[in-house]
């Protein structure tokens, strides 16, 4: 079966909430209109469509549009060697949807990362806590309203207590350098190689 055929099979089963498959650069996507049913759709995708591997869950911040959040599930069928992308939108007012850890236990860390970086909560998650930032960090760094210059931390000794610099310093590459030797941070005076 092709990825499109597998997607059509899934779309027919959930015709009331799944739009028709769309294709971009050879990859198939389905859009789910009801984020509350994501776990149910994922269960059928795994059991009937044989998408037995969850590759990733990502979040997209559509800052100036509504609904603000787009959550994307990247699925893979080992048997058919096809990928499927499931997308669902979540409004900013709610910023929550059900967990899929009951379908794929690997969703645990993916959902924690989306929560940590974007602030989207996954209801029913067995251990929803920060995975990259420290507990108590009040911001979500991948939101578009997070300033590029960073924000000061109120936790001295854990990380920067002042805004982290964006450019300069020994660890920033020089994009206009003529070759890799001059572009690498270790080539700069005061860099890690000095």
CA-closest candidate to residue 29, choices 66, 61, 4? 4
Confidence of residue 49 (pLDDT cuts 50, 70, 90): confident
- CA 137 – CA 162 distance, rounded (Å): 14
57 has a pLDDT exceeding 90: yes
- Quick one: what percent of the chain has pLDDT higher than 70? 77
pLDDT of residue 134: 81
Going along the chain from its start, the domains and CATH numbers come out as 3-137 (3.30.460.80), 147-188 (no CATH)
Predicted model pTM: 0.78
Rg of the chain on CA atoms, in Å: 21
Contact 99, 108 (CB under 8 A): no
Mean pLDDT of the chain: 85
- Quick one: what percent of the chain has pLDDT higher than 90? 61
- CA 75 – CA 148 distance, rounded (Å): 31
pLDDT of residue 112: 96
Mean pLDDT of 72-77: 97
**Residue that wins the pLDDT comparison between 73 and 183:** 73
- CA 113 – CA 35 distance, rounded (Å): 18
Q: CB-based burial of residue 90 (10 Å sphere; 0-12 exposed, 13-18 middle, 19+ buried)? A: buried
SS3 for 111? helix
**Residue that wins the pLDDT comparison between 26 and 182:** 26
pLDDT tens figures, 99-120: 999 999 999 999 999 999 999 9
Mean pLDDT of 23-47: 95
- CA 99 – CA 92 distance, rounded (Å): 17
pLDDT tens figures, 85-102: 999 999 999 899 999 999
Confidence of residue 192 (pLDDT cuts 50, 70, 90): very low
Neighbouring residues of 184: CB distance < 8 A, sequence distance ≥ 6? 173
pLDDT of residue 139: 85
pLDDT of residue 193: 44
- CA 79 – CA 52 distance, rounded (Å): 9
pLDDT tens figures, 136-181: 878 888 998 887 766 666 665 555 555 554 444 545 556 667 776 6
């Amino acid at each position: 079966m092709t990825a499109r055929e597998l997607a059509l099979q899934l779309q027919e089963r959930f015709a009331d909430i799944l739009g028709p498959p769309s294709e971009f650069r050879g990859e198939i996507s389905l859009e789910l209109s009801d984020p509350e049913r994501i776990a149910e759709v994922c269960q059928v995708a795994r059991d009937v469509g044989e998408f037995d591997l969850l590759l990733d869950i990502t979040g997209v911040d559509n800052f100036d549009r509504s609904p603000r959040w787009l959550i994307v599930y990247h699925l893979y069928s080992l048997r058919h060697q096809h990928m499927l992308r499931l997308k669902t939108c979540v409004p900013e007012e709610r910023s929550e949807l059900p967990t899929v850890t009951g379908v794929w236990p690997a969703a645990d860390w993916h959902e924690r990362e989306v929560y940590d970086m974007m602030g989207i909560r996954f209801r029913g998650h067995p251990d929803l806590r920060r995975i990259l930032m420290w507990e108590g960090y009040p911001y979500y760094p991948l939101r578009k309203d997070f300033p590029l210059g960073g924000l000061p931390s109120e936790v001295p000794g854990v990380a920067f207590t002042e805004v982290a610099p964006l450019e300069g310093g020994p660890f920033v590459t020089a994009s206009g350098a003529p070759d890799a030797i001059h572009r690498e941070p270790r080539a700069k005076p005061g860099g890690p190689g000095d």
